[in-house]
Every structure is written in structure tokens, then in C-alpha cells.
A and B are shown apart, each in its own frame.
Chain A
Amino acid sequence: MFWLNQILQGILLGGYYALLAAGLSFLFGVMRVINLAHGSLAVLGAFIMMVVYQALGISPLGGLLLMLPIMALLGVALQFLIIEPSLKGGALVPLLATFGLALICDNVLFSIFGADTRSFAADIGTLSYDSWNIGSLYISKLACLVFAVALLVLGGTQLLLSRTQIGRRIRATAEDEDAARLSGVDTRLIRAATTALAMVMVGLAGAALGASGSFDPYAGGPQLLYAFEAVVIGGTGSLWGTLIGGIVLGVSQGVGGAINTHLSQIAGHVVFLIVLIARLYQGGEISAYLRRLRVRFA
């Protein structure tokens, strides 16, 4: 029963990782942009939500509903001011530009809010600790809610892409931007809408982070790492793969943590590395490298 509980907690934690990784996966899948500011922007979303609901004296849910459109607008600004100009400089420049954005974001948040750790736990009532108990299994209601939101986000995005006109335009832009333009698609607008949607996902992940854990101005780095690991484990650009990747990462951490508390994070990283090496081997990169080595030393 102990192990079953650990695996269950890992699966539920995987829901958070999948939600966290959804925006990263979506942006990479559509625009081939790896947003290194992803984690920092999730933390920014959490801070915006906190400021909004505390300043207006409304519920955290109200803060979330106001934060999401702000994140969407920030997404449009991010697209036009950073991603689009940097894409003209080649594949490496958006990486550096978003890395720079992450540094700026972290330090601006630090200068405004200081180093204190924050959490929404105190403001969401019993939801932060309520659980369903089945025997010795503890199922957190908040973790289930986050998992359900992750499913809704990933399923909704999948439906949007496959069933709607805007989804077809996004796919057309992703496949071949020149051909999309010559079919009448305003690809700048579509890319801006894509980044806005990705930022809404980032905002949801930030809210989940603040509700189920804690955050501080420098919490973005680890969040980026978890999101990146979930995306790589699940397969880059695949939305349902991202869910599986999140679950695999969560279960690895749960099982690792059960063996030894200090092994929790390391177990996740080890599984990530194993999958990464297996993917490289499968893709032929490693075997090609070994062949080159054999030729060199023959």
C-alpha cells in the first residue's frame, strides 16, 4: 500500500508537471522556440495573481481570472518584442534572448518583492490540505484539481488544433510559414495568438505552483527544468506525450523520494537522462558517434 500511495502521489504530481510543461511544449511544437524564460514567467504569473487578488481584495480564483488575460497580453508583447526579432538571427538567438528575459524577470521580481517565499495556501481555505482518504491512500483534492486542469488544457489544446479554423491556421503556420502566408494566413497574428495561448498555460501553471507549493523570485529555474524534463521524456512537441512525460517524472520523483528523501529530485533527473540517451541512441546520433570513434581509432 505504501508504494501504491507513492506512485499515486507521483501521478498526481505529474499532473502539475504536465500543466507546467504544456506551454513549453506548445510553443516549441508550433514555433520551434525553446522558451528558457518559461519557469520565470510561470513565477511572474503567480506574483501577478497574488498582487491582483490581494490589492483588489478578491478571491484567488478572481485573481487567477484577471491574471490570465494579463499573461495573454504579455505573450503578445513577448512575441513581437523578443521572439520575432530574435528568430531573424537564427535558432540560437531566441534561446539566448529568452535566457536573458529569465534573468531580467527573476531580478526585477526580486527587487520588487524581495527574497520572501510566498504561497496561496493560506488564501484558498481547506483546499490546500483537504484530501480523500481511501484506506491508507491519501488523494489530495488540490492535486486532483491541478491534474484535471492539466487534462483540460492538453485536451482543449488538442481539440483546438484539430477541430477549429484557428487550430488549422496554427498548424499551417507551424508546418510551413511561407506556404501559410501564400494561402492567406496572417502568420504574425497566428504566432502572436500562439504565444498568448502558451502564456495562458504558463499562468495556469504559476497559479498551480502558488496554490500547491511555494514560490519566490528565483523559483523559475527549477520550474523550467521540470517542464523541460517532462517535454523531453514525453517527446518534444507532443501534447499527450507531455502528460505522460509529466507523470513519468512525477512517479520517478515519488518512488525516488520513498527510497530516500534525498533521492526524490535525483531520481527524476536520472530518468530524464536515461530517456534522453535512449532517444539520442534511437535517433542514430550516438551510434553515428560511436561509428566515427571506431573509424578514428581503427
Chain B
Amino acid sequence: MSLLLEANGLVKRYGALAVVNGVDFRVAENEAVGIVGPNGAGKTSLLNLLSGAVPVSEGRIALRGAIITGQDAAWRCRHGIGRSHQVPKPFGGMTVFENLLVAATQGGGFIQHEAYDRAVDSLELCGMLSAANRSAETLGLLERKRLELARALATGPELLLLDEIGGGLTDGEALDLVEVILDLRRRGIAIVWIEHIVHILVKVVTRLVCMDAGRIIAEGDPQSVLKDPVVISAYLGSEEVV
């Protein structure tokens, strides 16, 4: 597998506080990487840096070898980095389908019927086709999360950054989402997934990264990372993870 995204020496400071402090991070094509860590570990901040939502203080990010550190979120989205938020951010005044059209035409660069097809395909994949004409503000939490995923998918990403997409869902609902995410992997999309529900996460990811205090403290095969004493002490404060 060739390297898709590579970040070296990433630092994000707010005043004297470094929320991401010297992180090296790589994602290969079609790879699924999970990120875990206690609250305040810097997971979402890392995702913000990778998606371009906030600028880096130090370090560099490359997509397929090309430096993209100075590019903003819209540019990165148009060049294959999609993202979902921890708290879904639908465009509430629009229908579900219109939400997808914005993403397909702007993020994906699809035009006319291509954009419609892309929107329909993404909605179908995320199980939201029947809600296409509903106003986004009437959706429940699971549907909002599905819309968030579908909207990111409509941009035609090579890499999808998922921020606690299972948060707030029941186990059954989260497992439904896992099926959708596994389907995305089968379509060749690489995934970086932050999640607190670890037993859901390990159904998808092949590599796990654990962060604490802005740094990566362990990385590798999910089961070995979860048994790593450093991870147990930092992340759980107990002896076993799963």
C-alpha cells in the first residue's frame, strides 16, 4: 500500500498550551486507523490539523507526497480529505438532498447529473435515501450522523476523517454505522477514526494509535496497543481495555 497522508512533527499551540505536541502520523491507501485516548489528549485537534480546520503551529502535512500544510479545509476537501464532526453539523435550513448537493458540487467537483448521482449513491450507502427530501433540522441523532457521513462521502474522499461518529448512539445503532464504514473501506476509502467506543472501533481499524497530552504514546496492532501498560495507565487507569 502506498502512502496517502503523512504528517511530521505536528504541533498546535494555543498560547503556552500545546494541544498537539510533535505528532508524526501516516495513513496508507485504503488503511483504517483508529485513534483513542483520554479526553483532552489532542485527538480532535489532530483531526482539525489534518482536515485544515485549524492551521498548524509547526510541522508539515503531505498528501500523496505533495505538501498541503498551507492549504485550507475547503481545498483539502476538494482534494480528497473528507471529514465528519463529533457533533453533527447539518445545514439545517436545507433538505438532506441539498446538503449532499453542496458537498458533491463543491467538495467533489461533480457537475449536473454526476452530482445528483453522487448524492443519491452516498445517501443510499448511508441508508438515508428515504429521508432525502426531509429538512435536515428534523433529523434525529442517528440520522444526523448518517447525513454527516453521507455528506463527507459525497465529496468523493480518498481519506475520511471520522470524529466520534458512534458517540451518543446505542450499541445497535453504532453497529449499523460500522457496517456502513466497512462498506466504505471495501470501496477503497482510507479511514482515520477517533472513537471512545473501542469495541466498535476495533471491528473496522487495522492499526490503532493512542494519544495522551498531545503526543502519540502507542501505535500498532489494535489488540497489542490496547494491552500496552502505558495505554492502560494513560487511557483507562485500569488493567484491561476490552
A interface residues with partner B (beta carbon < 8 Å):
165, 168-169, 171-172, 175-176, 178-187
- List 4 A-B pairs, minimum CB-CB distance, nearest first: A184-B107, A179-B89, A184-B106, A184-B77
Query: Chain B nearest CB: distance from A172 CB in Å?
Result: 5
Asked if B94 and A181 sit within 8 Å, CB to CB, the answer is no
B215 contacts the other chain (CB 8 A): no
Number of A-B residue pairs with CB-CB distance less than 8 Å in the complex they form: 69
Asked if B91 and A175 sit within 8 Å, CB to CB, the answer is yes
Asked if A168 meets B89 with Cβ closer than 8 Å, knowing A182-B83, A183-B155, the reply is no
Query: Chain A nearest CB: distance from B213 CB in Å?
Result: 26
Query: Chain B nearest CB: distance from A259 CB in Å?
Result: 42
Task: Provide the B81-109 mask, 1 if CB < 8 A to any CB of A, else 0.
Answer: 01101000111111000100111011111
Please, which residues of chain A bring their CB within 8 A of the CB of B151?
183
Please, which residues of chain A bring their CB within 8 A of the CB of B73?
178, 181-182
Query: Chain B nearest CB: distance from A138 CB in Å?
Result: 42
Asked if A179 meets B91 with Cβ closer than 8 Å, knowing A165-B101, A185-B102, the reply is yes
Asked if B93 and A171 sit within 8 Å, CB to CB, the answer is yes
Asked if A175 and B155 sit within 8 Å, CB to CB, the answer is no
**Alpha-carbon distance A175/B91, docked complex (angstroms):** 6
B183 contacts the other chain (CB 8 A): no
Asked if A183 and B93 sit within 8 Å, CB to CB, the answer is no
B69 contacts the other chain (CB 8 A): no
Asked if B105 and A181 sit within 8 Å, CB to CB, the answer is no
List 8 A-B residue pairs with CB atoms under 8 Å apart, sorted by A's residue number. Answer: A169-B102, A171-B91, A178-B89, A181-B72, A182-B51, A183-B102, A183-B107, A184-B74
**Alpha-carbon distance A183/B154, docked complex (angstroms):** 9
**Alpha-carbon distance A176/B85, docked complex (angstroms):** 12
Please, which residues of chain A bring their CB within 8 A of the CB of B72?
181
Asked if A172 meets B91 with Cβ closer than 8 Å, knowing A178-B53, A181-B73, the reply is yes
B185 contacts the other chain (CB 8 A): no
Cβ 8 A contact of B106, one of A169, A175, A176, A178: A169
Query: Chain B nearest CB: distance from A40 CB in Å?
Result: 31
> Which residues in window 150-176 of B have CB below 8 A to A?
151-152, 155
Q: Residues of B within 8 Å of A, CB-based: how many?
A: 29
B26 contacts the other chain (CB 8 A): no
Please, which residues of chain A bring their CB within 8 A of the CB of B60?
none
B78 contacts the other chain (CB 8 A): yes
Cβ 8 A contact of B78, one of A178, A184, A187: A184
Cβ 8 A contact of B92, one of A175, A178, A185: A175
Cβ 8 A contact of A176, one of B52, B53, B91, B105: B91
**Alpha-carbon distance A169/B104, docked complex (angstroms):** 11
Among B83, B85, B98, B106: residue with most chain A CB under 10 A: B106
**Alpha-carbon distance A176/B77, docked complex (angstroms):** 16
Please, which residues of chain A bring their CB within 8 A of the CB of B51?
182
Please, which residues of chain B bring their CB within 8 A of the CB of A185?
74, 102, 106-107
Please, which residues of chain A bring their CB within 8 A of the CB of B98?
168
Cβ 8 A contact of B85, one of A172, A179, A184: A179
**Alpha-carbon distance A187/B106, docked complex (angstroms):** 11
Cβ 8 A contact of B53, one of A169, A181, A187: A181
Please, which residues of chain B bring their CB within 8 A of the CB of A172?
91, 94, 102
**Alpha-carbon distance A62/B89, docked complex (angstroms):** 46
Residue on A nearest B73 in the bound complex, by CB: A181
Please, which residues of chain B bring their CB within 8 A of the CB of A175?
91-94
Please, which residues of chain A bring their CB within 8 A of the CB of B77?
181-184
**Alpha-carbon distance A168/B93, docked complex (angstroms):** 10
Among A175, A179, A185: residue with most chain B CB under 10 A: A179
Asked if B89 and A181 sit within 8 Å, CB to CB, the answer is no
Please, which residues of chain A bring their CB within 8 A of the CB of B91?
171-172, 175-176, 179-180
Query: Chain A nearest CB: distance from B102 CB in Å?
Result: 5
Asked if B93 and A181 sit within 8 Å, CB to CB, the answer is no
Asked if A184 meets B155 with Cβ closer than 8 Å, knowing A168-B94, A171-B94, the reply is yes
Query: Chain B nearest CB: distance from A80 CB in Å?
Result: 15
